[in-house]
Amino acid sequence: MTIKRNWMAAVVGLAFAALPFTVTAQEESGTKTARELRSSYDKALQGKTIAFLPIALNVPLMDEWTRVVQQEAEWRGMKFIVRDPNNNPSAMQQALTALVDQKPDVLIVQNPSVTLLMKELKRAESQGTYVVQINMSSNYKSSAFVGADWHEVGKILAQDVVKQCGTGSGKSGKVQIVQGELAAAASVDQVGGVLEVLNKDPAIKVVSNQAANWDANTALNITATVIQQHPDLCASVGFWGIMESGAAQAIRNAGKIDQVKVYASGEGSQLDCDQVNQGNFYKFLSYKATEQGHDLMMASQMLLESGEKPGTRNLEFYTQPLWIDKTNANGGNCYALPKK
């Protein structure tokens, strides 16, 4: 028995003695699969150019997209360029034409309307540039779309409005809608979702449905008139937090902020969460700009790795909406604004 035990111990000892040499040899070269995957990845991405054309910079939503895309693109060894048309449609068209002429590998564009940029986006793909449209699509379906499903967002907003103001609520049922730009996909599709739900409840009365063109001051002036004409207003629904903050201010100025339920959808920045925590927004529906930034890079990476001709397919990356109220308007649900 002693001889057998000694023999077994020797065998085990030899096995353990050999193990470090085997592991070390493997660690020195790595696995063949890992090397091949990384080589393919780098070949598809390194040195490629990704261009971004938002409607404007120095806005929390666009700045967060820019921050995430630039950080991830540079980590992947890609060149990142951005142009700021400063909310000027004519300047945006000119900037897009110039970018398309430069033939970047990927072009990310935020459309101010469904028609303004579509011809140039189509031209970009026809000459080999993948086009990714962010949050507001044009009438041209490009290689990828990243963003909110606005019809879904509108329905979710309206469903909560009906709970607060509809049949059986004992409220007036009067609702105000504050749109952005009338020709923007975010307005067209969002108002469609809102009205689809609101029109099903006979107790709901839409007393105002106006465009504030994404401007807080315009929303304030519109709402000041609405609240004067309808002091028993039950809810105000706005299609962007910064714009709807103006509507909330008008309602607060009228002494009605505790009576009127103010809803907004938007990117989920600290500004949005501040509006919730200060009691200006009753609830906020976030489409999480930081997550969208990651999705923009994922869409760009997938297209580049596919090697397919631009326009071959249409990928969609929809963002799951998140309700924010005073119970969760903090931490990771409210991304920090970049320091100037």
Q: What is the pLDDT of residues 284-314, one digit of tens each?
A: 999 999 999 999 999 999 999 999 999 999 9
Looking at the domain 41-148+289-319, which fold is it? Answer: Rossmann fold (3.40.50)
Give start and end residues of each alpha helix (H) in 50-117.
60-75, 89-102
Task: Examine the pLDDT at 17 and tell me if it is beyond 80.
Answer: no
- Domain pair 41-148+289-319 / 150-286, same fold: yes
Quote the pLDDT of residue 16: 47
Task: Examine the pLDDT at 14 and tell me if it is beyond 50.
Answer: no
Quote the pLDDT of residue 145: 98
Among residues of the chain, what percentage have pLDDT more than 70? 91
pLDDT confidence bin for 39, thresholds 50/70/90: confident
Phi, psi dihedrals of residue 86, rounded to the nearest 5°: 55, 45
Which SS3 state, helix, strand or coil, does residue 94 take?
helix
pTM here? 0.88
CA-based nearest residue to 222, from 173, 174, 177:
177
66 in Cβ contact with 52 (< 8 Å): yes
CA angle at residue 300 from 294 to 302, to 5 degrees?
A: 100
Instruction: Tell me which of 3.40.50.2300, 3.20.20.370, 3.30.200.20, 3.40.50.150 is the CATH number of domain 150-286.
Output: 3.40.50.2300
Spans of all domains in the chain: 41-148+289-319, 150-286
Quote the pLDDT of residue 12: 46
Report pLDDT digits (tens) over 107-130. 999 999 999 999 999 999 999 999
Report pLDDT digits (tens) over 170-196. 999 999 999 999 999 999 999 999 999
Report pLDDT digits (tens) over 260-275. 999 999 999 999 999 9
